[in-house]
Structure 1
Amino acid sequence: MKNYIALMRPKQWIKNVFVLASLLFSKNFLIGHKIWTIVLLTGYFIIISSIIYVFNDMVDVDKDRYHPKKKYRPLACGALTKKQAIIFLVVLGIIAMMVSLFFEPLVNGIILIYMINNIGYSLIFKHYVIIDAIIIAMGFLLRVVVGALAIHEHVSSWILICTFFMAMLMALGKRRSEIICLEEKANAHRKNLQLYSIQVLDYMLLICVACTIMTYSLYSILEQQSQLFLITILFVFYGVIRYIFLLFNSDGSKMPEELIIEDQPLVMAIACYGLVTIGILAFIP
């Protein structure tokens, strides 16, 4: 059972927090049925993303053996066979289809697009420089969109743009970590890594940092009525800068999501951001 859970990559589930964005910013976090819908949708996304991870591990099993950390994944290290992974994939697929019955066709359609986007990444787009990062970022964007559709709420264009740049920080950070960690083995793991360089990735990351902070600030100024909401910019600014600080000082042994969840100051900043945002949106008109 431990190997099957590892195959689902629980540490990656944090990415599904983006599904909650529409519930938070539409001020519906006190409405019971919408909370239930988002909770169920988050679980749905965990199952769907786990399906993608199992599929991706099956595709990359040989290349993962060149990676100092990925070589310990259940398929790469031989703890599970491809046949067992396929059976597990079918089980997850059946569960996903059962959960899909609770949602409208449009929501399921967006999730299907999400799956196609990720399968396309695994088979094709991960081999193309910059496009690979954009495809990853689109997955985050689709999470926000499907969250809004599920509870029938509008999501700000500024939030969508900010989400895209924030997701680019994650995607480009992943490439940076891979290059540092793999060193001369980078090409054996993924051919397009030889086309990236640390310096170029750092420039790209800094551009995305500026865009993330700017678009969130514009959202706070243009879309929120209370000027108190500007306080949340401080948490976003600190969180993004702290993430870059950790990334630039990392030895590449940890992926971006691991850097985030294992850094206490960053986790505290995210928690404070959530509490302050909820407080302002809930109690100030």
Structure 2
Amino acid sequence: MSAEGAAVELPAAPALAGQLVRLARPRQWAKNLLAVPLALLDAGPTWAGAARAGWAVAVFTCAAVLVYIGNDISDRRADRLHPAKRHRPIAAGRISVPVAAGFAAVVALLLGSLLLLGPSVPPWPVAAYLLVNVAYSRWLKHAAPLDICVVASGFVLRVLYGYGAVGAPVSLPLLSAVFTGCLVLVLGKRRHELGTAGPEHRPALAGYTLPLTDQLLGLNLALTAGAFLLYLATEAPVDPYRQAVLAVAAPAGLFAAFRYLQAIHVHRAGGDPVRALLHDRLIVAAACVVGLVLAAAIAAHHHPTLLTWMGP
């Protein structure tokens, strides 16, 4: 019996609405929040900026859902060979390809409506994100290490769109930190896949080895730390509290990075980077420390009378 036929004979699936929600992968939507805090912090916290940044998140969430559906349709046969991805709705046969395509059409209509009715923001990051992901799904995902660069570029496009939405200039060191930081997360995922799946599921894995991923992880982690520290030391709008911000944010950020490496190498995590980050209380705590310190210093920078207790 073929894999397609076996999928049809699976036990009764949950309600269609629940499967469509699973298809949209709401657990991955946290990635789209990357467009909010960085842009808002640099632009200065305002209600109007928050509303525009939230709109940018909604736009990229719709774009990401379109990509998830397209990838699940395209990869449904390979996903059945993966120990975790075989449970995805399309691969498991709980949602047919025509139903998934119809759901994608609805999401595309919603995305178009948001772009037409929302603020006047150049849409090229969204268009580039969709086009790059089509190329990735068809060709680029098989080319290592180009595949990880393409995935990381999606996060850079999210940040660019968020900055465009709030009208803030983009920092090149910050963009570099986002790109290399995302490469760290993607490399952690590839490292995990080397031990749990294989080239049958992801042909690009034939271009990786554990020593190579470990070297690339170390390189990109160093680049991320350097670029982020350069941003804090030069371009982050945190005057006159720059030294205090560096004193707190630098060790907290490095601790979070070390903790993620520990999760990859010791606890064999990394298969789902979002889950690995959000389910580790120490990483979340360190990220909150960095975020709160930056938010307080930037708020004081834009509104000097707001936090007079901090002192220069």
The answer to whether the Cα contact below 8 Å between 1:172 and 1:205 also exists between their aligned partners in 2 is yes
SS of equivalent residue, structure 1 residue 189:
coil
Unaligned runs of 5+ residues in structure 2 are 1-16, 305-312
Identity rate of aligned residues, in percent?
Answer: 27
CA distance in 1, matches of 2:287, 2:33: 12
Residue 250 of structure 1, CA deviation: 3.5
Counterpart residue number, 2:268: 251
Counterpart residue number, 1:46: 61
CA distance in 1, matches of 2:285, 2:70: 34
Counterpart residue number, 1:241: 258
Counterpart of 2:44, as a letter, is N
Taking structure 1 as the reference length, what is the TM-score of the superposition? 0.94
Listed as ranges, the matches of 1:126-275 within 5 Å are 126-182=141-197, 186-224=198-236, 225=239, 226-230=242-246, 231-251=248-268, 254-275=271-292
Residue 6 of structure 1, CA deviation: 0.6
The answer to whether the Cα contact below 8 Å between 2:40 and 2:166 also exists between their aligned partners in 1 is no
Taking structure 2 as the reference length, what is the TM-score of the superposition? 0.86
CA distance in 2, matches of 1:252, 1:243: 9
CA distance in 1, matches of 2:177, 2:158: 13
> What is the CA RMSD across the aligned residues, in angstroms?
1.5
SS of equivalent residue, structure 1 residue 234:
helix
CA distance in 1, matches of 2:134, 2:167: 27
Counterpart of 1:4, as a letter, is L
Of 199-208 and 243-252, the range deviating more from structure 2: 243-252
CA distance in 2, matches of 1:213, 1:83: 45
Residue 253 of structure 1, CA deviation: 7.5
Listed as ranges, the matches of 1:34-113 within 5 Å are 34-101=49-116, 102-104=118-120, 106=122, 108-113=123-128
The answer to whether the Cα contact below 8 Å between 2:147 and 2:204 also exists between their aligned partners in 1 is no
CA distance in 1, matches of 2:285, 2:88: 30
Q: Give CA-to-partner distance per residue, 1:63-121, whole Å, 9 cap, x none.
A: 00010000000001011000110010001011111111213251x22211111111111
Q: Give CA-to-partner distance per residue, 1:23-65, whole Å, 9 cap, x none.
A: 3331422x11110010111111111101100000000000000
SS of equivalent residue, structure 2 residue 170:
coil
CA distance in 1, matches of 2:94, 2:269: 25
More helix per residue? 1
CA distance in 1, matches of 2:119, 2:126: 11
The answer to whether the Cα contact below 8 Å between 2:192 and 2:270 also exists between their aligned partners in 1 is yes
Structure 1 counterpart of 2:39, from 8, 14, 23 = 23
Unaligned runs of 5+ residues in structure 1 are none
CA distance in 2, matches of 1:234, 1:279: 17
CA distance in 2, matches of 1:199, 1:149: 39
Bigger radius of gyration: 2
The answer to whether the Cα contact below 8 Å between 1:28 and 1:35 also exists between their aligned partners in 2 is no
CA distance in 2, matches of 1:69, 1:89: 23
| Runs of 4+, deviation exceeding 4 Å | none
CA distance in 2, matches of 1:66, 1:73: 12
Counterpart of 1:171, as a letter, is V
CA distance in 1, matches of 2:182, 2:167: 24
Q: Give CA-to-partner distance per residue, 1:3-26, whole Å, 9 cap, x none.
A: 101101112111112101443331
SS of equivalent residue, structure 2 residue 200:
helix
Of 215-224 and 55-64, the range deviating more from structure 2: 215-224
Q: How many residues align?
A: 280
Q: Give CA-to-partner distance per residue, 1:195-227, whole Å, 9 cap, x none.
A: 211111011001111111111111111124322
CA distance in 2, matches of 1:252, 1:218: 29
Counterpart residue number, 2:27: 11
CA distance in 2, matches of 1:148, 1:23: 5
